[in-house]
Structures are given as structure tokens and as C-alpha cells.
Amino acid sequence: MADALHQPLQPKNGQENEPFAIRSYTPQQLKDALRKMYLIRRFEEGAEDSYMRGLIHGTMHLSIGQEASAVGACMALTDNDKITSTHRGHGHCVAKGADVSKMFAEFFGKESGYCKGRGGSMHIADVEKGNLGANGIVGGGLPIAVGAALSAKRLKTGAVTVCFFGDGANNEGAFHEALNMAAIWKLPVVFVCENNQYGMSTSTERSTAVTSIADRALAYAMPGSTVDGNDFSAVAEAVDTAVSRARDGQGPSLIESMTYRWRGHSKSDRNRYRTKDEISVWMKRDPIGRMAKLLRDHKIMSEDDIAALETEVEAEIAEAIKKARSGPDPLVSDATKYVYADAAA
Amino acid sequence: MTGEAHTDSSLRQLSYAEAIREAMDIALAADERVILMGEDIGVYGGAFQVTGDLVHKYGEDRVMDTPISELGGAGVAVGAAMTGLRPVFEFQFSDFAALAMEQIVNQAAKVRFMLGGAASVPVVMRFPAGSGTGAAAQHSQSLEAWFGHVPGLKVVQPSTPEDAKGLLLAAIEDPDPVMIFEHKILYKMKGTVPDGHYTTPIGTAAVRRSGADLTIVATSLMVHKALEAAATLADEAVDAEVIDLRTVRPMDRDTVLASVRKTGRLLCVYEGVKTLGVGAEVSAMVAESDAFDFLDAPIVRLGGAESPIPYNPELEKAVVPQVPDILNAARQLAGGTV
Amino acid sequence: MPTEVILPKVDMDMATGSIASWHVAEGEEVAKGQPLFDIETDKAAMEVESPASGRLHHVSVEVGSEVPIGTTLAWIYADGEDVGPPPEHATSAVTDDHVVSSDAGAPRAVLVDQSAKASELQGNSSSAKQRATPAARKLATQSHVDLADVTGSGPRARVQRADVERLLDVPAPDAIAVPALPWSTQQGDLSVLSSGSGEAAPWVLIHGFAADASGWSAVEKQLRMSAAVHRIELPNHGRSPRRKVADFRDLVSQMRQAFDGLGDQPVRLVGHSLGAAVSLALADTRPRRIESLTLISPAGLGPEINGVVLAGIARASRPESLGPWLKQLTGDPDVVTPNYVQAAARQRPDGQGRAAQASMMDALFPDGVQAFDLHAALSRLECPTRIIWGRRDAIVPWKHALRAPGQVALHLFDDVGHLPHVEIPEQVCALMML
């Protein structure tokens, strides 16, 4: 039994020569996926620019360089499926189908934002599309994802929950408690660890006893695998397999998606713990460039198509920022609204 | 338990634990979304036999034993509440809330707010609390004030079997997270409990005894000690009004202030540590209100000592208010010698 | 289009910063990602990379000068791009529309719970140093008692409510009703003082509890010019004999005898406080004899009445104990001068009279509650009726007037207390004669 669980995830039948994404998705799905990856990149650049101009309060955590992981993981999901996200969650939110102008509006603290200006970057959520929210607490979303999966099983909604978390969370107690419970109750949840190598400044080598976080799956009797998180097709394949398994009632899986954030941990990061050389090596593994190449190589999009797509996304971002900035501010007298369902409580 | 026949339901006596179990039974039967979660609440019946045999009636899927994982378990309940279930999560001892504070304080209490009202967390958490069982420092605390300090949570402390049932049913139906502090000493206390479904409104105090000379605001087990003291005081021509606060958050301001306006004297009795406790909030609420003008003596608080709960039974009694302490304080207040 | 170089926000609480040094001189080439300048904030220094490749132009901020975040510092022109005048920047930052910053200003205060208002909690200045409970301070303020004159019986000589009450010669509330002195009844009719003459229907005036006919003097002087004025005095008041009054019905029955003794012609009936309640009851049983009815601060329209003050007046025998209570009767306590108090004290009955009044009060206002309700009688009236009341009445709440039916005229005066006919006699007379 345990052996069966720990077989490496195998590609589906036959066409081993072609990547999973090419075998499994229509050209339109692949174009949409690339578009979402651009959208995440430009969204975060736009957010960064707005932040630097003083238009955004607080701080933010950018996932530039991790786009394949977010978009690839959401390929197997429908709007009925749930995700829980992290403080580095803009990509997950876009990948799950959010409207970028409502996201910008949230960043600008507007009543028209996803959380009516109460949450900001760190609590961005889109419940209608199944995004139960980013989380300011490392590991905070893990038990919640298990709870969502418990609801799905009990209420027979057929929904699967993808739980995103970072390498930092794998040393929190909540990670271990959540994985254990998901396994004992065979809940439809897929744990996707986006291992970007650093928990703030502390590398996984310095913080984590195992070499591969996926190895921790063994302790909770679930399949664990490690994939190249900058390879859209690889991420999509691993998560697709795990989601199918969850939908079949076989319980949870753990996927470690190896990736890298190009930017600092937050806007206060001075990058003192890693070298420019290391960053530039990872920038050469740009997940968007690789995805674009995949589509070019398979004649799904031409160079011109891709350039046009980029231009279109840039226009969408510019328009979204403009729209978001013109949204209404919340009333100060409403500052404590939404604490309770009954506002008078 | 539901098979028992009662010729006169108005006189039906149940224990506090039985009343809580009956509330859970009613909720489980009425609403498929309701599940119970907690450590050893299944065949074991719960550490204090509160869930009892419910697992046999509703199965392990709805009366779920969790691993000893307070943080994870509480978080699973929060996530399940966000996505359609109505979990009632039992902590084995209220002290273990310390293990789960992250999910209660940072998640359950704040999700609705952080999401601008887009989601709610209708979770109920039950905490067996209080001293008097010889369970010593890590199994005897009264931590309700911790949670009373957190906007987004509601916090109740039923003192009677009737309220234990009514407040739990109200909590299960409430759209927001409700923390219920049940005093372990009260589990075996019997009292009249109405049949069937009813709710006790969260946020309302109860005047347990009407009086003119002094107001005693008490919570949980202390309500009973205050009533015992009030009976003795009546023989001494001191007419004490005893208010059972019932809900710590949101607090029933109107009932407390009206009583203080009438009596001009306030005594707060609570088991939690005195400093920054529930009685501190009651006192401040009165001092900040127009009822201040009616005070004819300083406010007096009797709370837990500035100490962990000791093991030795005499010491254990000494660190929480007892009837003679209440009598002493009330006599001084009513006699104008405070 | 050249690329804008701005002073970036690099820290959560950063509002301004300055350039420590440029790594690239104006006009020099720079590659995207290459260090462009060093920024200095109040916390740290940090290197900023070039946002684009090209040549640096239009450097507009000097090294060392502090500028707001988002300020344009320079422009980078790509190879072959024309270097004209500096472009308008796309989105000016900090000065543009609203900026989210940590010192967003005033709104915070709106959310602070304002249930405690310091101003409401202040005692009057002469009492401020005296140790006293809030309840004692409140009573002292209401009764115009200086706390410095009160001896405190509480710990550390703290003045408690009972100490103020003792000074005011008030029995404790639960003892109000118990008459302290024995008294005997007297024979004879109720006293009626008549004056004036004229064609118009006569006036009949009935005073309130613990007052007497002299209370009408200001009004009577004007009324007697055009008509006869009859002032009936209540039993146990003024020159009327001491009599047992069992209850309100008994009081009305005794007063009706005196009223019937005035003849058959219609009269204009005026009552104050308890006298107004009696007038209302008379009008209810003698409708054909009433041309008009004026009720001044009437009792009988609601349960509340300030029994503490009434008892205080009823039991007061000396100016010192009477003064504080009288000051409660008027909207402006300064109307009650020492001379007024002296005069009022002289009018007070002797010990037996005071005991008789206290006994009457107990019968009519047991436990400080009006034991009779004339609301129904008011609704039955057919004669023109008006109610005159002061909104600062501390004895009977003026809001009882709001129970009056539509045909009754209401005249409410803002700064007037329980004695409109004493405080504003001209206006009261003008209304009565309407």
C-alpha cells in the first residue's frame, strides 16, 4: 500500500514525447493560460509601480517568477473548486479567475475592491470564484483548506480544494496537523507547496530537516512529488493527477513546486541573503518565456500573436488601474462594518 | 434520552451537561450541516461526557473524533464553517485554546471583516473551563476575557442548564463565531430545562434576583455563589440584586446600568484573574456611563488571584472568590464602609 | 517614450527620501537592472536599479535633498530616442488625488467610544475637593447644597447620599410617608379668599400641595381688575382647617362642597399641580358650571411625581431647610431669593399642620407615585381647556401633557419650572384670558 502511494506520478498513456500540457489542453486553453501568466506578471509590476508612487498602503509580496506554479495548479480546477492562498497570493487569485481591476481597487483601499478595502493585498479573496483568501499568517490557510475539503466531502459538492503554501509553512505545526487530518479522513485536498527557496531570508537548507519537502508526504501516508515549478506543463500535470485522485475519493496529495521569487520577500527586503548571480540564474528560467516558447514550438501561437497578447494585457492592466483608482473610498463611519453579520452586535 | 416521558415538561430537570447534549442532539437532527468535532467526543463520549452517546445516533461522520491537534482541528472547523458546515468544536479543556489561538483570533474572528463581508464563519467552540476540580494550573483557567478582547468573536458563559441549552442553540444558529465557556463544576448541576427547541439570546444578561441595596454582577459559577450570598444578606436586611451577565461579548449594558442606577452600589464577581478581567470591563462600563452619577460607593471587584490555579484544594479555593468573600464585600458596600 | 525614474517607496512607513548618490552621471549610459542611485531614508540606505536601458537625462533632484516618494528624479532615453524637454510624467504620485498614508488624519476619533464625556462628570467647583460619592454630588448639585457644608459619614469622611439628605432634612425615601408628629383635626369650612368684581365670569383658583392662596398673588392682581376672583384653599393648607384626607376622591369631595358654596353661575376654573387635578375632577362632575378650565403643571396625568421634593417642603420648618427644596420648583433657581424663602417659611404651617400635610401626601402620593389618574376625565371635558407647563418642571414631568387629547391646548415654556404662575405671571394671565 505504502509503496503504491509513493510511486512517482506517471504521465497519462501513450504520448510520452509530448509534454502533458500539449497532450491535454486545447490551443485556446493554452493561450488563455499564457495570457493569465502575463496578466499576473503585469499586474504585479503595475502594483509595484503604484506602491513605489505611494498609492498603496502597507506592503506587498510579489510572486514575479512564480507564475507557472499558480496558473498550472489551477488548470484542473473549476469555479466550484476552492483554493486557499498565501501572503504571496496575487498569482493564485488571478489564476482562479479574479478581475484585476477589483484586485487593484482592493490594493488602493477602495470600497469597490474584493474585500471592500478592508483586506488589502495580504487578504485578497474572491469567494465567488472559490478563492477563500490569501492569508497573513504563515500556514494559516492549511487547516482551513482541510475544513473546506471536509465540507465538500460531507455536503457532497464534488469540490476539490487546492491549498497553496510556501516552504516557510512546512515547518509550522499547522502544516503537520492539517496533512494528518486530511489523510486520516481521506479528504479531497491537494497541498501545493510553492518552494521558492526562502522563508523571508532563511533558506530551506537552513530551516528544513528534509532535503525535499515532498518527502514529508511519507509521514502522512499520501503521495508526494516534486516538480519544476517554472514549467507550466509539469505543474499542471502533477496537480491534475492529484486532483483526479482527490475527486475519486482517494484523499490528499502533496506537491512541491520548485520555483523562485525574483523580487524580495516584501517591499522592505534589501536582498542581503542571496546573490545577484543566483537571481539572474533563476531569471533565465523565466516561466513565462518557457511557456511562450512551448506554444511557439508547437505552432499554437506565433511571435506576433504573443506580442499582440502582451500588448493586450498591458492595456488591460492600465485600464484596470485607471478604473480602480476612480472607485469610491469606504466611509470612515463604516470602519467597523463587517465585524459581525449583524452590524449592531 | 429523548425517549423519556415527562408528564409535566415545565418541571423537567436535566443536568447542565445533559442540557448541552440535548441542544446538540436537536441541532444535529434539525440541520444536516451541523457536525460535532473534538478530541474523544465519539465513543468515549467526551472528557466530561457531554457528547455522551451522540456518536451512536449520528455516526462518526457527524460526531467526529479529531486527533490531538487543537490548532489544526480548530482550523478545520473554521474552514468547514466558511464553506457550508456548522461545526461545533469541543476543546477538552479551555486551557488548550492557547494551542489554537492562531485559528480563533487571526482567522475565525477576522475572516468576515478581512473579506469585506464576503464570507462568514458560523463556528461554535465549546470550552470546559474553571477551577474546583483539582486539575491544577493547566486545566483550570477561566480565559473568557482573552476572547472578549477580540472583535469578531461572541463569548458566552451559561450558568444554568436552561441557558446552556438555549445559548448553545443560539450559537449554532448564529452567523458569527461563538465561544462558549462551560464551567466544569456546573456540568452535574440540575435545573429546569424546557423541552424542544428554544434559544437564549446572545448579548442579554438575566436578573436572577431583584434587590434595591446593591448590584452584584456575576458570571458562570459565580452567579450561584452570589445568589447564595444574597440569601444570607437578605436575613441581614441587605437586599442584593444579582445579575447573571451570561454574555461577555457583546455585553448587556442596559441591564447592568439600569440596576446600578437603582442600587447605587456595584460588586463584580468573576473567576478569571481580576486584573483586566470581565469585571474590569463591567466596572469601566459603569464608570463611563451616566450611571456613575448614581454610585454611592466605590465599585468593588472580586476576581481570581494574580496566580495560576494551585493544586492543593485549600489553596485552590483561596484563589477564586467564595461565598464568604462575597458576603464580606457586600456587607462593606451596603454598610458604607468601603 | 523615455522611462521615468522616480524616488520609489522602499519601506512601509516611508513618505520621503533623498538621493545619497548617483551611480550613473547625467548623459551616461545605463543598463536595465544596473545600480542607478542610492536612496537614503530615515531608517536605511538602499541601492535602486535602473528601470530601463538607455541614457540618463533631465536629472531634477539634487543629491541630499529630501523629496516625497513618487517624485520624478530623471528620465532614461533609449538608443535613438530624441532628448527634448522633460516629458510630463504619467502619474504624479503623492500630490495626486488621495494618497494612502499612515497619518490619514481625523477620522480615527469618530470611532472612539464616546460614552464617557469628561464634562458630564465634573462636579461644581466648590465641591470638587470634598470627598463625596457621585450620587451625593448629584443630589447636592440638584438641591443647591454646597458639599463643603456636609459632614461625610463614609470612610475617610466621604460624603454619601444619606449625608446630603440629612442636611436637607429629608427622611429617607422609604420613610417619606410616615408622619412624625401627632395631629388633630379641626372643625369648619374650607377657606375661600374672594376679591375683585366685574361683568365677566368669576375666576376660581385652586393652589397646589404645600402652597396656599398667597401663591396666586401675582396672577390675582391682574385677574381681579375685570372679574371676581375666588381662591379656595385645600384642607390642611393656608387658612383651611386640618382634616383627614383619605384619598384623592375624598379630597375632591371636600373641595366640591366649597366650590358648590360659590353659587350657580359658570366660572373660569384654574388649578395648579394638585389643585389642577382637583379642578379637573370638579369640571368632570360639574360640567355646566365651567366656562373654561386652565391646568397649570397639573398632577393626575401620569404616575411620576418628585416625592422627595414634596416631602422635603412638607416637612421643612425653617428657611434653611426650605430654601433648597424651593429652588427645585422653578426653572431658574435664582428666582427663589432669600427673601422669598423667608416669606415662604413664615407661611408654612405649624408642626401639627406640617404633620397633617405629610399625612395627606402619603394618602395622595404613596411611595412618591400619583395614586390617581385623571386622563379619562380630561378626555371627557367639553369646555375650552388649556394646559400650561414649564419644560424644566422638576416635580411633575411636563411630558405627561402629551397624553392630553387633541381639543386641549398645550402651552409649553422652555425655561420655566413647576410654577409658571409665579415665574411668568403676565404670560400665564394672557393665556388664561384668551
- Domain residue spans of chain B: 12-192, 206-334
Asked if B36 is an interface residue toward chain C (Cβ–Cβ < 8 A), one would say no
* Cβ-defined contact of C100 to A108 (cutoff 8 Å): yes
Q: Is B152 on the interface with A (CB under 8 A)?
A: yes
CA separation (Å) from C176 to A331, C163, C212, C308?
Answer: 55, 16, 22, 8
Q: What is the mean pLDDT of residues A123-127?
A: 96
Yes or no, beta carbons of A146 and B79 under 8 Å apart:
yes
C203: exposed, middle or buried (Cβ count in 10 Å: 0-12, 13-18, 19+): buried
Question: Residue C268 pLDDT more than 90?
Answer: yes
**Helices first, then strands: H and E counts in chain B:** 12, 14
| Neighbors of chain B by Cβ distance (3+ pairs < 8 Å) | A, C
So what's the pLDDT on residue B230? Answer: 97
Backbone angles phi, psi at B77, to 5 degrees: -60, -40
pLDDT of C116 reads 40
Tens-place pLDDT, residues B262-294: 999 999 999 999 999 999 999 999 999 989 999
- Contact (CB<8Å) A127/B73: no
**The pLDDT of residue C117 is above 50:** no
State the average pLDDT over residues A145-158: 98
Question: C123 to chain B: nearest residue by CA?
Answer: B293
- Give yes or no for residue A6 having a pLDDT over 50: no
Interface check C102 vs A, CB under 8 A: yes
Q: Do C15 and A55 touch (CB under 8 A)?
A: no
pLDDT at position C352 is: 81
Q: Are strands B178-183 and B124-129 parallel, antiparallel or unpaired?
A: parallel
Its CATH class, for the domain covering B12-192, is alpha beta
Question: Does B114 contact A123 at a Cβ distance shorter than 8 Å?
Answer: yes
Touching chains, C (3+ CB pairs < 8 A): A, B
Orientation of helix B278-287 relative to helix B253-263, angle to 10°: 60
**Min Cα separation B284/chain C (Å):** 10
* Residue range B97-154, pLDDT digits in tens: 999 999 999 999 999 999 999 999 999 999 999 999 989 999 999 999 999 999 999 9
Q: How far A31 CA sits from the closest chain B CA (Å)?
A: 31
Please give the full DSSP string across B29-42, using - where no structure is assigned.
HH-TTEEEEETT-S
> Is the pLDDT reported for residue A97 higher than 80?
yes
Dig out the grid coordinates for B146 from the structure: 482573552
pLDDT, position C246: 85
Shortest distance, CA C63 to any CA of chain A (angstroms): 19
State mean pLDDT over C42-64.
86
Residue C433 banded pLDDT, cuts 50, 70, 90:
confident
pLDDT beyond 80 at A289? yes
Residues of B in contact with A154 (CB under 8 A): 35, 61, 80, 85
Q: pLDDT class for C101, splitting at 50, 70, 90?
A: very low
> With contacts defined as CB-CB under 8 Å, which chain B residues touch C155?
336-338
How confident is residue A50, by pLDDT bands cut at 50, 70 and 90? very high
Residue range(s) of every CATH 3.40.50.1820 domain in chain C? 192-432
Q: Does the pLDDT at position A44 exceed 60?
A: yes
Instruction: Please report the pLDDT score of residue A15 as a whole number.
Output: 62
With CB atoms and an 8 Å threshold, state whether A53 touches C111.
no
Q: Are the Cβ atoms of B297 and C153 closer than 8 angstroms?
A: no
pLDDT: which is higher, B78 or C380: B78
| Contact check, Cβ <8 Å, A53/C69 | yes
Does C111 contact A335 at a Cβ distance shorter than 8 Å? yes
pLDDT at residue C342, rounded to an integer: 79
Taking one residue from B and the other from C, the number of pairs with CB-CB distance under 8 angstroms is 40
C-beta of residue B48 within 8 angstroms of C-beta of residue B184: yes
Question: How many angstroms separate the Cα of A279 from the Cα of each of A42, A261, A276, A283, B6?
Answer: 19, 8, 5, 6, 76
**How many H helices and E strands in chain A?**
13, 7
- pLDDT recorded at residue C333: 81
Please check the confidence at residue C319 and state whether its pLDDT lies above 60: yes
Distance from C-alpha of C82 to C-alpha of C102, rounded to nearest angstrom? 40
User: C-alpha angle A192/A197/A198, rounded to 5°?
Assistant: 110
Q: Is C58 on the interface with A (CB under 8 A)?
A: no
Using CA atoms, how far apart are residues B186 and B44, in angstroms rounded to an integer? 20
What is the phi-psi region of residue A178: left when phi exceeds 0, alpha when psi lies from -120 to 50, beta otherwise? alpha
- How many residues are listed for chain B in this entry? 338
- Chain segment B162-189, per-residue pLDDT in tens: 999 999 999 999 999 999 999 999 999 9
Tell me which chain A residue has its CA closest to the CA of residue C34.
A276
For residue A267, what pLDDT is reported?
78
Comparing CB atoms, the residue among B285, B287, B336 nearest residue C154 is B336
Q: What is the pLDDT of residues B202-236, one digit of tens each?
A: 999 999 999 999 999 999 999 999 999 999 999 99
Report, at the CATH architecture level, how domain C3-77 is classified: Beta Barrel (2.40)
How far is Cα C199 from Cα B31, in angstroms, rounded to an integer? 85
* Residue B70 falls in the annotated catalytic set: yes
C-beta atoms surrounding C98 within 10 Å: 11
Question: pLDDT confidence of C182, banded at 50, 70, 90?
Answer: low
Of the residues A87, A112, A154, A184, the best mutation for testing chain B's interface (the one with the most B CB atoms within 10 Å of its CB) is A154
pLDDT tens track for A64-75: 999 999 999 999
pLDDT at C120: 39
Residue A334 sits at the chain C interface (C-beta within 8 Å) = no
The pLDDT value given to residue C125: 40
User: pLDDT: is A268 or C224 the higher one?
Assistant: C224
pTM: 0.70
- CA B19 to chain C, closest CA, distance in angstroms equals 38
In B62-81, the residues whose Cβ lies within 8 Å of chain C are: none
pLDDT of residue A8 exceeding 90: no
- The pLDDT of C235-258, averaged and rounded, is 89
**A55, A104, A333, best to mutate vs chain C, most C CBs in 10 Å:** A55
Residue C344's pLDDT is 79
Which of B71, B76, B96, B102 would you mutate first to test chain A, the one with the most A CBs within 10 A?
Answer: B76
Return the CATH architecture of domain C192-432: 3-Layer(aba) Sandwich (3.40)
Asked if B149 is an active-site residue, the reply is no
The pLDDT confidence band at residue C343, using thresholds 50, 70 and 90, is: confident
Q: Are the C-beta atoms of C207 and C229 separated by less than 8 Å?
A: no
Residue C112 has pLDDT above 70, yes or no: no
Asked whether the CA dihedral C5, A200, A206, A220 is positive or negative, the reply is negative
Instruction: Give me chain C's average pLDDT, please.
Output: 82
A100-107 vs A303-325: helix axis angle to the nearest 10? 40
Write out the three cell numbers for C293.
378650565
The per-residue pLDDT for B8 is 55
**Residue positions counted in chain A:** 345
Distance separating alpha carbons of residues B329 and C245, to the nearest angstrom: 45
pLDDT value of residue C104: 40
Query: Of B18, B22, B39, B70, which residue is the catalytic one?
Result: B70
Say if residue C183's pLDDT is above 90.
no
Task: Flag whether pLDDT at C369 surpasses 90.
Answer: no
**Set of chain A residues whose Cβ sits within 8 Å of the Cβ of C107:** 332, 335
* Average confidence score pLDDT of chain A: 93
Residue B167 has, within 13 A of its CA and on its CB side, a CA count of 29
CB-defined contacts A:B, below 8 A: 160
Residue A283 has pLDDT above 80, yes or no: yes
User: Does residue C230 sit at the B interface (CB-CB below 8 Å)?
Assistant: no
Q: Residue A2: pLDDT above 50? A: no
For B78, name the nearest residue in chain A, comparing CA atoms only.
A144
Please judge whether A59 and C12 are an interchain contact, meaning their C-beta atoms are less than 8 angstroms apart: yes
The pLDDT value given to residue C357: 86
CA gap A305, A314 in Å, rounded: 14
CB–CB of C190/C235 below 8 Å? Answer: yes
B151 interface with A at CB cutoff 8 Å: yes
Euclidean distance between CA atoms C303 and C370, whole angstroms? 5
Instruction: Give the mutation candidate from C111, C113, C115 for the B interface (greatest B CB count, under 10 A).
Output: C115
Q: Give pLDDT, residue C387.
A: 95
Confidence band of B10 (pLDDT split at 50, 70, 90): low
Task: Give DSSP secondary structure letters for A2-24.
Answer: HHHHTSPPPPPSS-TTS-HHHHH
pLDDT higher than threshold 80 for residue C100? no
Residue C178 pLDDT > 80: no
Mean pLDDT, residues C233-262: 90
- Number of Cβ atoms within 10 Å of the Cβ of C45: 13
Q: Which region among A158-167, B86-95, C132-141 has the lowest average model confidence (pLDDT)?
A: C132-141
Residues sharing a CB contact under 8 Å with residue C53, sequence separation 6 or more, in sequence order:
C29, C30, C31, C32, C76, C78
Q: How far apart are CA B11 and CA A341, in angstroms?
A: 36
CATH 2.40.50.100 domain range(s) in chain C:
3-77
Which tens digits make up the pLDDT trace of A298-331?
A: 999 999 999 999 999 999 999 999 999 999 999 9
Are the beta carbons of A55 and C8 separated by less than 8 Å? Answer: no
Pairing of strands C35-40, C54-57: unpaired
Same fold, B12-192 and B206-334: yes
Q: From the CA of A217, how many Å to the nearest CA of chain C?
A: 37
Please give the average per-residue pLDDT across B301-316, as a whole number.
93
Look at residue C272 in the predicted model and tell me its pLDDT: 95
What's the mean pLDDT in C271-294? 92
Q: Is C10 on the interface with A (CB under 8 A)?
A: yes
**Per CATH, the architecture of B206-334 is what?**
3-Layer(aba) Sandwich (3.40)
Whether C431 shows a pLDDT value over 50: the answer reads yes
pLDDT at B337 (0 to 100): 81
Catalytic residue among B18, B22, B39, B139: B139
**How high is the ipTM of this complex?**
0.85
User: How many Å apart are CA B83 and CA B106, to the nearest integer?
Assistant: 18
Q: Domains, chain A, ranges and CATH? A: 29-325 (3.40.50.970)
| Res. C365 pLDDT band, cuts 50 70 90 | confident
Work out the pLDDT band at C364, boundaries 50, 70, 90. Answer: confident
CB contact C133 to B (< 8 Å): yes
User: Which residue bears the cell 401675582?
Assistant: C218
Q: Give pLDDT, residue C170.
A: 57
* CB-based contact, C65 to chain B, within 8 Å: no
Nearest by CB to residue B83, choosing from A113, A115, A148, is A148
At residue A10, the pLDDT reads 52
